[in-house]
């Protein structure tokens, strides 16, 4: 269980700078979401959508137009990412087409989770599109476009 963090893989990812909440603490490769003031905070498994992947730790934010900001990789249609997995996840648990959510383990919110099963779609932000890479403990996932903060095919609640 190496914990690489989420890594943008295929597709035309967009990168933008967003203000970071002064209380936000997250690592590079963590999923991030808008806070109520539209600054960036770490994604919570109870969120109904995700903004993208942080390309730096919140503690390494930099001034952009006078505001502390972090760079975020934004998924656009057809973008995929490598997601971390915990040890012992069977291929059948995360087969291609399986809808799943992201969750935090250690200091990284970057793990594809099987805890919701196929019944709940509220927090299912990914669809598994590749086979598990057991050497790196990762799986390739695509972002469900109805569950992203920008370029969404649906409205977002930002409710937790």
Tell me the percentage of the chain whose pLDDT exceeds 70: 84
Please give the pLDDT value at position 109.
81
Domains, the chain, with CATH or none = 1-150 (2.40.300)
Distance CA 33, CA 135 (A): 29
Is a pLDDT exceeding 80 seen at residue 22? no
Q: Measured at the alpha carbon of residue 99, what is the angle toward residues 49 and 95, in degrees to the nearest 5?
A: 150
Question: What is the tens place of the pLDDT at every residue in 27-77?
Answer: 999 999 988 888 999 988 777 788 999 999 988 888 888 889 999 999 988
């Amino acid at each position: 269980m190496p914990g690489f963090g989420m890594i943008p893989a295929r597709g035309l990812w967009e990168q933008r700078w967003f203000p970071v909440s002064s209380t936000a603490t997250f690592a590079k490769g963590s999923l991030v979401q808008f806070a109520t003031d539209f600054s960036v905070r770490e994604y919570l498994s109870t969120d109904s959508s995700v903004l993208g992947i942080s390309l730096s730790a919140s503690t390494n934010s930099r001034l952009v137009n006078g505001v502390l900001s972090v760079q975020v990789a934004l998924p656009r249609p057809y973008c995929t990412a490598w997601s971390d997995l915990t040890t012992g996840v069977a291929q059948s648990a995360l087969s291609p087409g399986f809808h799943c959510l992201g969750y935090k383990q250690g200091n990284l919110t970057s793990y594809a989770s099987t805890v919701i099963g196929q019944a709940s779609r509220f927090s299912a932000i990914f669809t598994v599109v590749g086979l598990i890479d057991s050497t790196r403990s990762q799986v390739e996932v695509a972002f469900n476009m109805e569950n992203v903060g920008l370029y969404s095919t649906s409205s977002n609640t930002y409710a937790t």
